Amino acid sequence: MATIHIPPISFQHDHPYPKLHSKTNISGININNNNNYEDKIRNFSDHPALSLLDKCTQMMQLKQIHAHMLRLGLFFHPYSASRLLTTSALSPTKNIEYAHKLFDQIPHPNIYSYNTLIRAHASGPDPKQSFFLFSQMLNQGLHSPNKFTFPFLIKAASELSALKEGKVVHGMAVKTGLHSDVFILNSLIHFYASCLSLDLAYKVFVKIPHRDVVSWNSVITAFAQGDRPEAALDLFREMEAENMKPNDVTMVSVLSACAKTGDLEFGRWVHCYIVRNEIRTELILSNAILDMYTKCGSLEDAHNMFDKMLARDSVSWTTMLVCYAKSGDFTAARHFFDAIPSRDIASWNALISAYEQSGQPKEALALFNELQLGDSKPDHVTLVSVLSACSQLGAMDLGQWIHTYIKKHNFRLNFHLITSLIDMYSKCGDLEKALEIFQSARKKDVFVWSAMIAGLAMHGRGEAAIDLFLQMQKDTVSPNDVTFTNVLCACSHAGLVEMGKLYFSQMLPIYGIAPKAEHYGCMVDILGRAGRLEEALELIEKMTIPPLASVWGALLGACTIHGNLELGEHACNRLLELEPRNDGAYVLLSNIFAKRGKWDDVTRLRKMMKDIGLKKEPGCSSIEVDGVIHEFLVGDISHPLSVKIYSKLEEIAGRLKSVGFEPNRSQVLQDVEEEEAKEQALNLHSEKLAIAFGLISTGPRAPIRIVKNLRVCGDCHSAAKLISTLYNREIVLRDRYRFHHFKNGSCSCMDYW
């Protein structure tokens, strides 16, 4: 252990054991002798032992200095004690617990000492301690808060997102007469922004009598980061009009706002503005320019900027990696990733996230496996992306392994991870585990609540989802637009038509949330599934916003369920006007024609698809066994166990016939005349192949969990109910829209799907 040399004290009357509360003698100083006392104070501040505090690199060294200061009496002088406290609380070798013990030993801590410890706790693991110290200071009545105290308390409130406490601090600052202090006001802007109260942040800003560049930066950053980028850009223009010169910090926030608006032309103007005004372009600003071009979708501009950068760090390389991935060229993205000179976890996260968000979950998981073989360690961002990939695939085993990894490595369960775990377990079919995680979370934000409501919705637990929505409001968590999407989905899957209409009608007048296209789509789905097709069309015609493809798609899907050809054709035509290459629209209309026996029209639609280069998305069912995902297409014979699978399939068909099961031949959407051929076509559906594989590959009591990319067909649905009884197995099937839990001959959807 390294030691540090402590020079001897230079006072004439050195006493090794001073009386702690003596009024007459500290290290030979008679504090009643005013002439001598001021000189001795200067000697304290100049003592070599204090200069060594700046050289501490280890706690052991700090403790040595502390011990020596105690022996010489230096510790009991306010200045030297505060110097020691500052080093222990704020230096690179800080130890807040030790600093608190030091503070408790100071006989009469001054306001500087209080501010130092309040500041340390504000940025520490437990910001609440800042308020406890502040309360202690006020109760003792020895000191009044000053202009340094309030910014540290506001920082603590920001870390806690404690809007109520922050408002109290704001009020105290006003009563103390510091309401015009620009440093305090700038801190308040940041605080209100961190609590998502942008209007309050702006009110503070407009009341600042003499705004500096930090004031402008604070409010522009608040709006840029608070998803009001247009307002941030308006403030930048206002800043220019008032002849306040922006700096590099201003431009980073302005570029962030440009990136969020996606306005490439204005982004280029901002880049030219930076060059024209000779604003210092260091690495952070260069990366902000690069990020703006990436998010505005200009690979060429981004590449030109990257090539011109004099210095590049991990952020630069990662931003370009994201740009390649967003362009859809994953081959180039992977080559660029391999060329990064020193990959950190941010680079890994960028590519893993790009794969996951582009619907390539298997590639994301493969890259995660590659990451584990290297030197980098996963962080919260990695785990959120990988859990999402597991959710897409229904990979329960890997999802559980990641959950165990989180526990083993003591990852803090922040809101993002809790939400991801709830989503993973819900989408992998284990709703009870998702509920367990939800209930164990001490704090829940709106996204945690919304994820659990979504989980209940997709499993058909509509009434439970509504109950949770009501409980969320009792817990004073305000719903957002995502929450309402999930609530309406819950009503749709459970057939709660009137409940859905009620909450949809309350969105704007009661909750202040204007319905978006996805909410209208949910309402059309609610009405359409219930057979109220004309009412659904009337809702579309009265929409306050232009109906998007998703709205017409919901109506077309409902027409397919209820066989309404005329309205289905109308919905399909409107959908194709918006998305001419939407293969699903052709397929759904074709299915309506097929159910009506209009095979000429089916042929016509298929020819149209072929002529414009569209292909029907093939039905694919997957099942995870021992951590491996097995995929099946209709009539698939590529699996290594295909002989055993087809043998099991014949056995299943035989047992189904023996109990009187009749295949639903209307589900054959091809022009096949022979009844036997129709039955054979149904028997080769991917769902049945996956069930057969599950029966031969899993334990006799294990549930069979299957994920299908399309809506499960009616014949497979009926067959699965009987198979669950014949083989005494629970079958959990997730299709494109919801979960079906087959058990003891019935399905959780109650045949309403």
In a domain, 414, yes or no: no
Q: Which of 623, 751, 627, 741 is nearest to 691 (CA)?
A: 623
Any domain includes 47: no
Domain membership flag for residue 733: yes
Rounded-to-integer distance, Cα 437 and Cα 425, Å: 9
Q: Is residue 658 part of a domain?
A: yes
What CA–CA distance (Å, rounded) separates 305 from 295?
14
Residue 359 maps to a domain: no
CA 609/CA 630 separation, integer angstroms = 30
Whether residue 490 lies inside any domain: the answer is no
CA distance 65 to 650: 84
pLDDT tens-digit readout, 16-35: 323 333 333 333 333 333 44
Of 472, 556, 492, 484, the residue nearest 516 (C-alpha): 484
Range of the domain at 717: 636-747
CA distance 133 to 609: 71
Residue 389, φ and ψ in degrees, nearest 5: -65, -40
Q: State the pTM of this model.
A: 0.69
Residue at 262: amino acid letter: G
Residue 104, Cβ density class (10 Å: 0-12 exposed, 13-18 middle, ≥19 buried):
exposed
**199 falls within a domain:** no
* SS3 of residue 308 by DSSP: helix
Give ∠ CA 50-53-58 in degrees, rounded to 5: 150
Give buried/exposed letters for 589-607 (b at 16+ CB in 10 A, else e).
Answer: bbbbbbeeeeeebbeebee
Q: Is residue 735 part of a domain?
A: yes
Distance CA 568, CA 581 (A): 17
Q: Residue 515: what are its φ and ψ, rounded to 5°?
A: -60, 135
pLDDT of amino acid 23 = 33
- Which three-class secondary structure string do you get for 603-652? HHHHHHHHHCCCCCCCCEEEEEECCEEEEEECCCCCCCCHHHHHHHHHHH
Give the residues of the chain that fall short of pLDDT 50.
1-42, 667-678
Domain count, the chain: 1
Neighbours of 283 (CB within 10 A): 14
On whether the CB atoms of residues 745 and 724 are closer than 8 A, the answer is yes
Strands 704-708 and 731-734: parallel
The reported pLDDT for the residue numbered 142 is 74
